[in-house]
Amino acid sequence: MRVPDDSLPLKPTPLAPGDQVVLISPAGPVSREQVERGAALLREWKLSVTVGAHAYDRDGLVAGTDRDRLADLNTALADPAVRAVLCTRGGYGSQRIVAGIDTAAVARDPKIVLGFSDITALHLALWRGARLATLHGPALALRTEPDPMTVAALHTALFDPTPVRLAADPAESTAAVTTAGRAAGRLLGGNLAMLAATLGTPDAPDPTGAVLLLEDIAEPAYKVDRMLLHLERAGLLNGLAGVAVGQFTDCPGTDPSVPEVLADRLHRLGVPVLGGLPIGHGAVRVTVPLGTRAVLDADAGTLTADPALRRP
């Protein structure tokens, strides 16, 4: 197994009680009540929580104008008092602002960046522009009380610079996608639809030697097949070390099912594939690092990733 150089990712420091974190909405519009629920959780952890100036705005499909959403992001990235930039939700719109990210500010003072789903566009842009290790984890606009495993994993990912070890859940629908083997590589990826949307842009990741993470929601089997075929034809599945498959939630249709389509496409790659990971839009949403060294052991049913945080 080829293991990437540990020195490559730019890593922020862990959070500590009293640190300032900012909640921003770089994609879809959010409810103030839901954001306050997330902020309350962070305050329980003794963090100082502020909300971006435009986090509650709405401009058609997105949470405020592109200029304002980008301003909230870049203001947080450049503020030396801010130690983490936490996204309130995904939805749609992150890709509309990624070309303007202040990557020089990221390089000067790397901060934790957390989000998932549409926020995959930010993860990929920050990786391309600054080689920043980020966190693929739950949005902080909380509709309900979060699952205890989700909360515990998020706390660890924000405060504790130790490796993340995640076991596949046989109850997840994608568990059957697994194919035997063990692989090591840099964990990259996230939402399948957003990965497909990066093709032809500067943010499309280099798959060579990577462990590719995939998850999605509400996509029928034919669209999943089409997106995977698109990745394949564009070369984004070439040279992978392995594939980590998270949750494909609320996907309509059963003949064929989305897991069957995933298995059909991914098994052709001839690399280890581990399905059933509680990563994505399910009830349990475990936070995992992106951009760090990972070991995928499909035989043992585990994914282990180096932390996105550096030791202080």
pLDDT tens string 86-115: 999 999 999 999 999 999 999 999 999 999
Residue 11 located in a structural domain: no
pLDDT tens string 126-171: 999 999 999 999 999 999 989 999 999 999 999 999 999 999 999 9
Same domain for 120 and 30: yes
Active-site choice (25, 173, 215, 257): 215
Instruction: For the sheet with 210-217, list strands across it.
Output: 164-167, 302-305, 293-297, 182-191, 210-217, 242-249, 273-274
Active-site choice (54, 123, 136, 281): 281
pLDDT tens string 53-88: 999 999 999 999 999 999 999 999 999 999 999 999
Same domain for 130 and 209: no
Give mean pLDDT, residues 180-194: 98
Same domain for 136 and 25: yes
Active-site choice (25, 54, 94, 117): 117
pLDDT score of 216 more than 50: yes
pLDDT band at 173 (very low <50, low <70, confident <90, very high): very high
Give mean pLDDT, residues 279-304: 98
Same domain for 276 and 144: no
Residue 1 located in a structural domain: no
pLDDT score of 312 more than 90: no
The overall average pLDDT reported for the chain is 96
pLDDT band at 6 (very low <50, low <70, confident <90, very high): very low
pLDDT of residue 188: 98
Examine the fold and report which residue of 125, 159, 193 is the final residue of a domain before the chain moves on.
159
Give mean pLDDT, residues 14-23: 98
CA dihedral of residues 293, 136, 131, 69 (deg, nearest 10): 180
pLDDT tens string 24-36: 999 999 999 999 9
pLDDT score of 20 more than 70: yes
pLDDT band at 7 (very low <50, low <70, confident <90, very high): low
Same domain for 228 and 134: no
Same domain for 155 and 26: yes
CATH number at residue 212: 3.50.30.60
257 is annotated as an active-site residue: no
β strands within the chain, DSSP E: 20-24, 48-51, 82-87, 112-115, 134-136, 164-167, 182-191, 210-217, 242-249, 273-274, 288-290, 293-297, 302-305
Examine the fold and report which residue of 110, 141, 159 is the final residue of a domain before the chain moves on.
159
pLDDT of residue 253: 86
pLDDT of residue 96: 98
281 is annotated as an active-site residue: yes
Same domain for 142 and 25: yes
Residue 2 located in a structural domain: no
pLDDT score of 301 more than 60: yes
Q: Could you report how far apart the first and last alpha carbons of the chain are, in Å?
A: 30
Residue 68 located in a structural domain: yes
pLDDT of residue 254: 86
Helix (DSSP H) and strand (DSSP E) numbers for the chain: 8, 13
CATH number at residue 135: 3.40.50.10740
Same domain for 114 and 30: yes
Give mean pLDDT, residues 252-281: 96
Give mean pLDDT, residues 210-218: 98
pLDDT of residue 220: 97
Supply 272's token pair. Answer: 């280890």
- Residue 73, domain extent: 20-159
Give mean pLDDT, residues 249-260: 94
Same domain for 176 and 151: no
pLDDT of residue 1: 37
Residue 5 located in a structural domain: no
Greater confidence (185 vs 1) lies with 185
CA 54 to chain centre: 23
pLDDT tens string 255-264: 999 999 999 9
Residue 8 located in a structural domain: no
Distance CA 274, CA 215 (A): 12
Same domain for 209 and 274: yes
Residue 10 located in a structural domain: no
Same domain for 139 and 41: yes
Give mean pLDDT, residues 286-293: 98
Examine the fold and report which residue of 159, 185, 205 is the final residue of a domain before the chain moves on.
159
Residue 311 located in a structural domain: no
How many domains does the chain fold into?
2
Same domain for 277 and 236: yes
Unique residue bearing structure tokens 């692989």: 183
